[in-house]
Chain A
Amino acid sequence: MSEMTAALTLEAARELLYREAYLLDHHEFDAWLDLYTTDATYWLPLEHNQPDPVNTSSLVYDDRRLMELRVKQARHPRAHARMPAARTVHQVGNVMLLEQGGAEAKVASVLTLTEFRSERQRMFAALVEHRLRVTPAGWKIAAKRVDLINSEGELDGIAVIL
């Protein structure tokens, strides 16, 4: 237990974010879900500097259940926008340990996502914040906020997980 409550290192934070990107890019979605706490949230705000997910709409505001349903939906044979799954590269960079104290830590990063599906390649760029929490199984993601730089712009449907 002492090891797990030990302060999160920048190296460990970076490793966790890279692992998440790796699992998404390799379509290992169950393992991706395992990176998250059971009360986790995954949030793509609609507006720049959006203060909360309940009074303003979001491109995505999933609790753990909706995250699981997102994965389940994508496996259905008639998941039109998700079958076949897009090929992606999640490029994670500029990882910084913003805050840490005891059982929680806040990590900032940037994400460049390139997606290929249906003869079309698209790119997304986002500022990302992970809130990590230590659990008996190690550090997990308790909340992920992904601010697409064009969240308020004209967007085609997004079926990939950022």
Chain B
Amino acid sequence: MTASNPAELASLVEPDRVHRRLYADPEIFELEMRLLFGRAWLLLGHESQVKAAGDYFLTRMAREPVIVARHGDGSIQVLFNRCTHRGAAVCHLEKGNTQQFVCPYHGWSFATDGALRYVPIAEGYGPGFAASMGERGLARVPRVKTYRGFIFASLAKEGPGLLEFLGYMKTSFDDFVDRAPGGEVEVAGGVFKHAYNGNWKLMLENHNDTVHPAFVHASSIHAARDQAIDSGAQVSAHFSDIAVRQMRQNGAPTEVWEKLDLWTTQSGHSFMGDYHSDDRLVAGLDNPVFREYYEQLVARLGEPRAREVLSVARFNSIIYPNCSFMSQFRQLRIVHPLAVDRTMVYTYSYKLKGAPEQLFRDTVAFANIVNGTASAVLTDDLEVYERTQKSLSGGLVDWVYLGRGYGGDVAGEEGTTRGVTGTSEIHIRNQFAAWKQYMTAVA
């Protein structure tokens, strides 16, 4: 029995349940790297990370270490970080600015578009080598596109275009960027790199799971519930105010979660409506910082459009298979699967250009409590991923049940489908429907 047989792979995904091997079988993980991460569009970062010519950062696509660089002609290049001579990584600093990537091994130098520029003592490679240098540049990732400043790439030469892949989800990126009074967003405030001993899918399933907060986060909700919060008129009297507010919000009553909208789209994506009622965390016109921001937005867009922009209320948007972001809270997470039972997540904060400095400080405080590696909140999510992985890794119980809300899905416009309630597991079933498509498609 081999997992690379499409019929067998398909048999592991049923409408309301999946086989535990999808989380625990190393052979399936290797296939996912090739067939899923090797085919889909992956979000790599944002143009603000490569503003000037020569700026670069390192990341990975499936198993491949890649360099994302801004070339002299303004183009964004995504290059395999592997010398075309003997294979050493040509760049090892996480980010920086350079004119060229020089291999540490034998000194081959590559331009920021990957072209091989110079080879020391080249004669020794033999006659004809000089003529072949044009073909010995760093391999380029075949497809690179941006949407509203976000950089995507695909390891597959062919496949659906980025806009087709994103479909209705592009509106979540619109929401992210439209909120900037200066018309742009930028990465700022540091990168959390948190890891857990669990499969990459566990995080993407959890982010739009609206039943989990009351249980997974019970202890932080309990700790914060009776805490006072600053009054609306105060400007961040306490740094802890944001953290306390967010922990309290996770304790929203069941009806709030049930009534949320939870939408899925094609390609495995999904987004959930927002559950926040706290007026400092979202759209609080009593709050002087938010008021100042609102006026800046009105100055740029006019009042009707500014109100329209701020009326969009989304929490997590998931771009399957490697990204989850919070347009309203300026957080973006990129998932890096390392092994079947090991996952790393890079978490970035974004700054709205033109917005008050204090608004970004609130973003930083929010990032610390929601995405911080030692936060009161995230640590409990990571613990539950690990406990789930442990149980799924062994045993004779094969199936994982994903049936909450099954059978009640409601068709929406533009290829969307809504869960019967906000606590449906529709987003997980939708992720596995996409999984099945990627994994069983004939190349």
Chain A interface (Cβ < 8 Å from any Cβ of B): 44, 46-47, 50, 53-63, 65-66, 69-70, 72-74, 76, 78-83, 118, 152-159
Contact = CB atoms under 8 A, between A and B. Distances in A.
A56 B190 contact: yes
B220 A157 contact: no
B48 interface: no
B271 interface: no
Query: Looking at A54, A57, A72, A159, which has the most chain B CB atoms within 10 Å of its CB?
Result: A57
Given A54-B361, A61-B368, 7 more contacts: A46-B190, A50-B190, A56-B190, A154-B195, A157-B374, A157-B379, A159-B379
A63 B364 CA distance: 15
B373 A59 contact: yes
Contacts of B222: 72-73, 76
Interface in B210-232: 215-216, 218-220, 222-224, 227
Nearest to A47: B190
B195 A156 contact: yes
A157 B368 contact: no
A65 B194 CA distance: 25
A153 B193 contact: yes
Contact of B372 (A55, A58, A69, A73): A58
B374 A57 contact: no
Contacts of B196: 156-157
B376 interface: yes
B364 A55 contact: yes
B344 interface: yes
Contact of A70 (B189, B239, B368, B376): B376
A63 to B, nearest CB: 5
Contacts of A78: 215, 218-219
A80 B384 contact: yes
Nearest to A158: B374
A44 to B, nearest CB: 6
Interface in B120-150: none
Contacts of A82: 219, 379
Interface string B373-406: 1111011101110110000000000000000000
A56 B189 contact: yes
Contact of B220 (A65, A73, A158): A73
Interface string B415-426: 000000000000
B197 A156 contact: yes
A158 B376 contact: no
Given A76-B223, A152-B193, A154-B344, A69 B218 contact: no
B280 to A, nearest CB: 16
B223 A57 contact: no
B86 interface: no
Contacts of A79: 219, 380
Contacts of B386: 118
Contact of A57 (B220, B247, B349): B349
Contacts of A118: 386
Nearest to A54: B361
Nearest to B336: A154
Contact of A66 (B240, B367, B379): B240
B379 A81 contact: yes
A59 B219 CA distance: 19
A57 B188 CA distance: 9
A73 B376 contact: yes
A155 B219 contact: no
B57 to A, nearest CB: 14
B274 to A, nearest CB: 22
Contacts of B360: 55
Nearest to A74: B219
A80 B380 contact: yes
Contact of A69 (B194, B368, B376, B383): B376
Contact of A156 (B191, B194, B218): B194
Nearest to A50: B190
B189 A73 contact: no
B382 A81 contact: yes
A73 B380 CA distance: 11
Interface string B341-378: 00010000100000000001100110110011111101
Contacts of A69: 220, 223-224, 227, 244, 247, 376
B384 A65 contact: no
A78 B380 CA distance: 9
B157 interface: no
B372 A59 contact: yes
- Would you list the 7 A-B pairs with minimal beta carbon distance, nearest first? A76-B219, A79-B219, A158-B374, A81-B383, A157-B382, A73-B223, A157-B379
Given A57-B372, A157-B373, A46 B192 contact: yes
23 contacts: A50-B190, A54-B239, A55-B189, A57-B372, A59-B373, A59-B374, A66-B243, A66-B376, A69-B376, A70-B223, A70-B376, A76-B219, A78-B219, A80-B216, A80-B384, A83-B219, A118-B386, A152-B191, A154-B194, A157-B373, A157-B383, A158-B373, A159-B383
